[in-house]
Amino acid sequence: MIEAAETVFLAMAFEQSIRPIVEGYRQKIFAERSWRCDPDLVERLERRSPDQPVEQYVTDIKFTWMMEKADFAVYLDRCNAERIAAGLVVEHDSHCPLLVAEHLTIQAKHALCDAMAEVTNIPAKKAATLKLDDYRKFVDLTLKLLAPFVTNPLAKPIA
């Protein structure tokens, strides 16, 4: 249980250290130019809500998934170049270091739920059915319960 909590804390720290770097270069790249929306998506949105105008360009970085394929390819190439320049390493060039870090945190939290299931009777599969806010509270309470027993996992000798 304690090792699972240590892993969550490490994963969260890793994610928090990667986030400002990745978000910084993503925002910089996004601001460099206008990025076209996928015309098929625009058409579908226009049919769904004919009274509301649909943007032809992506206006918010949260919606890069709406980019036209060629623009998205350029955007990803630029992100990859910035990732390399920042010294961030991933298994495959198509992977985003922030998404990898977020996924590691999710996996660690699921492992924590499973490790604590004997006490809480809420394994990861059951925890995943909770409302998102309830799941976050559950994990947070579990970490608070175990935090006094957690030592600095970076200070441990590697076996």
**pTM of the complete model:** 0.84
Q: For residue 154, what pLDDT is reported?
A: 66
pLDDT at 32 over 70: yes
Q: For residue 144, what pLDDT is reported?
A: 95
pLDDT at 98 over 80: yes
Listed as own residue / partner, the contacts of 15-21 with beta carbons closer than 8 Å and 24 or more positions apart are: 15/98, 15/101, 15/102, 15/104, 15/105, 18/88, 18/97, 18/98, 18/101, 19/98, 19/101, 21/86, 21/88, 21/97
Position 15 in a domain: yes
Position 122 in a domain: yes
Confidence of residue 41 (pLDDT cuts 50, 70, 90): confident
- Percent of the chain at pLDDT > 90 equals 79
Position 58 in a domain: yes
More confident residue, 55 or 63: 63
Position 31 in a domain: yes
More confident residue, 159 or 70: 70
Q: How many domains does the chain have?
A: 1
pLDDT at 35 over 90: yes
Confidence of residue 46 (pLDDT cuts 50, 70, 90): confident
Position 157 in a domain: no
Phi, psi dihedrals of residue 88, rounded to the nearest 5°: -90, 130
Position 156 in a domain: no
Q: For residue 56, what pLDDT is reported?
A: 87
pLDDT 10s digits, 111-136: 999 999 999 999 999 999 999 999 99
- Percent of the chain at pLDDT > 70 equals 96
Domain extent at residue 58: 2-148
Q: For residue 17, what pLDDT is reported?
A: 96
Position 68 in a domain: yes
